Amino acid sequence: MKYITSFLILCLCYYTISYGVFLKKKQNNRLGAFGAYLLAIFTAVVSISVVFTRF
């Protein structure tokens, strides 16, 4: 169950990272892209660490 939850979290973070790529390439918004990348990475690390340490 932990691995399925981690996979779903990574899928959601992939969507956020792809939005960051869109911001960087299409709209030339580097700061917004950096924020999206940072949000996705931070969310993935915190969520997956909570899943594996708590349950």
d(CA 52, CA 29): 35
Backbone CA torsion sign across 37, 42, 48, 51: negative
Residue numbers of the domain that contains 10: 2-54
Locus of tokens 């969310």: 43
Of 10, 39, 46, which is closest to residue 23 (Cα–Cα)? 39
Residue 54's pLDDT is what? 80
Instruction: Count Cα atoms within 13 angstroms, Cβ side, for 10.
Output: 8
Residue 55's pLDDT is what? 63
How many domains, in total, are found in the chain? 1
pLDDT (tens, 9 = 90+) of the chain, 55 residues, equals 999 999 999 999 999 999 999 999 999 999 999 999 999 999 999 999 999 998 6
- Contact criterion met (CB below 8 Å) for 44 and 7: no
